[in-house]
Amino acid sequence: MKGCLCIDVPKKIAYNSLKCVTKYYIGDAKMRIDQDCLGKMEVKDDALYGIHSLRAVHNFPITSEKVHPAILESMLEIKLAAAKANLKADTLSKSKADAIINACKKLIDNHDYRAFIVPAIQGGAGTSTNMSANEVVAQLAYQMTDIKIHPNDDVNQSQSTNDTFPTAGKMGMLKLAPKLLQSIDNLINQFTELSIQHQKTIKIARTQLQDAIPTTYGRSFKAYASLFKRDYKRIRNAAKNLTIINLGGTAIGNGLNASEYYQNNIVPILSEVSGLNLQQADDLIDATQNCDSFAEFSGALKTLAMNLSKVANDLRLLSSGPQTGLNEISLPKKAAGSSIMPGKINPVIPEVVNQVAFEVIGKNLTVSLAAEGGQLELNAFEPIMFRDILTSEEHLTKAIETLINNCLKGIQVNAQYNRKNVEKSAITATVLTPKIGYEKATSIVKEALNKNISVKKLVLDKQLLDSATVENLFSPEVLTNCDNQDSAIQ
């Protein structure tokens, strides 16, 4: 296993904080032997990681995907905040606290997490991630200062994986949430723009894929904007519950091995370090073992995915054809659609949005099962939850961005074609029902279809109503039941 020194440090022999039995060379590489309670392993001597990280790589060869940078950054912020709290609690010396703090700052400021080799999918409820952070910080602190720092006794002081890992997971989700919310807000604004632009563009509505009464594209686009406004609120509200953390609870929530000062002050210190408005849970035992807040947030992402997929379906259907489909709208041409059919163009942007939605919906099921699968005082399945939720946040953000920039901004509504559809649609006979009754209106529809003429013309030909009444009934304003806000129809 090759070691990875992720930042420039003084060239010296790294301090093996656990137990170094011997050092030797393999080729040009200086090696060390690390030892833990299970035995010994070879580690490249200048590697910041240690035996726990290597064991994770060997034990969990599921994916090459590493723990998400947002979790790693958050874990380092926790280690930094813990060092500050332990210093003030007088349980950690100033020299060690400063060494830990400076090492954490160095790693965070460089945004370089190559020394963190632990796979994203792992057993152990996140222990490998936490131990890896302890090892990397301890080794780097020593290389920067010559002060011997123990990964567990010093870096992990007053902590447990069971309160640091879920806290880091929540922090990671919170850090990705603003970008997702901004993309949803942009989507709402884009649909609102389209609704204003097409406020007067009349079209035939459809229910159960069959012709229904006329409406406008302005109203259709406004409905999409309203839909995503709810998603915005839903995700924002679910994210608020992620700010409630169990840090200070250590192993099961009772705070064993943490000083009173640490328990009372670690969360405010972490809030200051991270810039997040975090709160300590009222019931730390509950917050340590139950994962409903993750399931709730994932569920909000799933609902957004579902709504995006529904809108993508609408866009694909409305643009279908163009010669033999609905052809009510035209989407921007973004890619050749066929290797055999010349000139064919496919709705590739809505299609990729659909696929992201399918992925997110599937990941939500994984999160649901993982949250349910916890037992007694701890849920062991947070690694897969965090990996899937963070991936969903990122993919949804990018899917929305491409939908806006590569589809909605260039969408064209075929106004004339839509108007002709309204004029020839027999469903416009609906406006006759209050005047001539349902049964008579039904017979008019049938006759108009048989004779292939418009309902309006048939009513005028039969002189069922005076011409002024007919013109009024079949005006766009009446057909679309417009209010004062969109009374003038194009």
pLDDT at site 23: 56
Return the higher-pLDDT residue of 1 and 382. 382
Q: Tell me: pLDDT of 490 over 70.
A: no
DSSP 319-343: T--SSSS--SEE----SB--SSSTT
Give the rounded percent of residues in the chain with a pLDDT score beyond 70: 92
Q: What average pLDDT score do residues 167-194 get? A: 98
Cα–Cα distance measured from residue 382 to residue 422, given in angstroms and rounded to the nearest whole number: 54
Q: Which residues pair with 336 in a beta bridge?
A: 345
* Residue 8: pLDDT over 80: no
pLDDT for position 22: 52
Name the residues annotated as catalytic.
338
∠ at Cα 320 (316, 322), nearest 5°? 145
Q: Please tell me the distance from the alpha carbon of residue 11 to that of residue 378, in angstroms, as a whole number.
A: 42
Centre a 10 Å sphere on the Cβ of residue 60 and count the other Cβ atoms it contains.
17
Average pLDDT over residues 234-262: 97
Q: Other C-beta atoms within 10 Å of 416: how many? A: 10
455-462 vs 438-451: helix crossing angle, rounded to 10: 110
Average pLDDT over residues 276-299: 98
Extract long-range pairs of 260-264: CB within 8 Å, 24+ residues apart.
Answer: 261/85, 261/88, 261/89, 262/82, 262/85, 262/86, 262/89, 262/91, 262/158
The alpha carbon dihedral of 285, 286, 290, 294 has a sign of: negative
pLDDT digits (tens, 9 = 90+) for 411-430: 999 999 998 888 888 888 88
* pLDDT tens track for 55-106: 999 989 999 999 999 999 999 999 999 999 999 999 999 999 999 999 999 9
Cα–Cα distance, 32 to 25 (Å, whole number)? 9
Closest CA to 139 of 11, 6, 2, 17: 17
Residues 6+ apart with CB under 8 A from 326: 317, 318, 319, 320
pTM, to two decimals: 0.90
Mean pLDDT comparison of 286-290, 345-349, 440-444, highest-scoring range:
286-290
The answer to whether the CB of 265 falls within 8 A of the CB of 273 is: no
Q: What is the mean pLDDT of the chain?
A: 91
Q: 21 — phi, psi (to 5°)?
A: -80, -45
CA angle 226, 231, 237 (to 5 degrees): 125
Tokens for 332? Answer: 């921007």
pLDDT at 2: 38
Is it the case that residue 16 has pLDDT exceeding 60? no
The pLDDT, as a whole number, for residue 14 is: 47
pLDDT grade for 240, boundaries at 50, 70 and 90: very high
pLDDT tens by residue, 329-379: 999 998 887 778 888 889 999 999 999 999 999 999 999 999 999 999 999
Q: Return phi, psi of residue 293, to 5°.
A: -65, -35
| Token pair of 301 as six digits | 């992402």
12 — pLDDT class (breaks 50, 70, 90):
very low
- Give the per-residue pLDDT at 29: 62
The answer to whether residue 7 scores a pLDDT higher than 50 is no
User: From edge to edge, which strands make up the β-sheet containing 20-26?
Assistant: 20-26, 29-36, 39-44
Question: Domains in the chain and their CATH numbers?
Answer: 20-157 (1.10.275.10), 164-256+266-415 (1.20.200.10), 425-486 (1.10.40.30)
Residue pLDDT, tens place only, 252-267? 999 999 999 999 999 9
Identify the CA nearest to 162 among candidates 287, 25, 20.
287
